Amino acid sequence: MSSLTAQELQRLAGLQGYELTLEIDVLSRKYGISAEQIVAMLRSANQPRQESQQPFEPVASKEVPELPSQPRHISMEGLRFDYDPTSGTKDRRAEVNQAIVCPGCGVALGIPSHRPIKIKCPQCLHEALYH
């Protein structure tokens, strides 16, 4: 068992979705490392170094950050769909005519324009209802 090179970690950082999953699988087989270990290496490599700062001390807060009641729209140009093998995918994609940013994690989501709509982010599982 060995570790991934910095170049491989950098290449993984540039991928997302199904392409990332495929590349993690290839590297997992190549190096004999589990996919979970590769994801952990990728996360630790992407975190900024904070060696000079004080250790983190959590502070309890009763304030809950308020999430927006309206979605933040973005351009659909350059966005592409992840692989989805379920039935009805083609019909659902035909309805997508807007792109928004998930208020929980910031990932781009394609949605139809009808309202009210309940959105569940596949990345962070944040749920939002927009009217």
Q: How far is residue 16's CA from residue 9's CA, in Å, rounded to a whole number?
A: 13
Q: What span, in angstroms and rounded, lies between the C-alpha atoms of 14 and 73?
A: 23
Residue 54 confidence (pLDDT) = 52
Gap between the Cα atoms of 47 and 50, Å rounded:
9
pLDDT value, residue 2: 66
- Return the higher-pLDDT residue of 55 and 122: 122
- Return the pLDDT at 81: 73
The pLDDT assigned to 104 comes to 80
Residue 7 has pLDDT above 60, yes or no: yes
- Give the CA count within 13 Å in the CB-facing half-sphere of 59: 4
* pLDDT tens-place string over residues 60-106: 555 555 555 677 888 888 777 777 788 888 888 888 888 888 888 88
- Is the pLDDT score of 128 beyond 60? yes
Which residue is listed with tokens 């997508």? Answer: 96
> For position 130, what pLDDT does the model report?
82
Q: Does residue 130 sit in helix, strand or coil?
A: strand
With left for phi above 0 and alpha for psi between -120 and 50, is residue 124 left, alpha or beta?
alpha
Closest to 99 (Cα-Cα) out of 128, 127, 69, 75? 75
**Which residue intervals of 32-129 are DSSP H helices?**
35-46, 89-95
pLDDT of residue 62: 57
pLDDT in tens, 13-46: 888 888 888 888 888 888 888 888 888 888 887 7
**What single-letter amino acid sits at 71?**
P
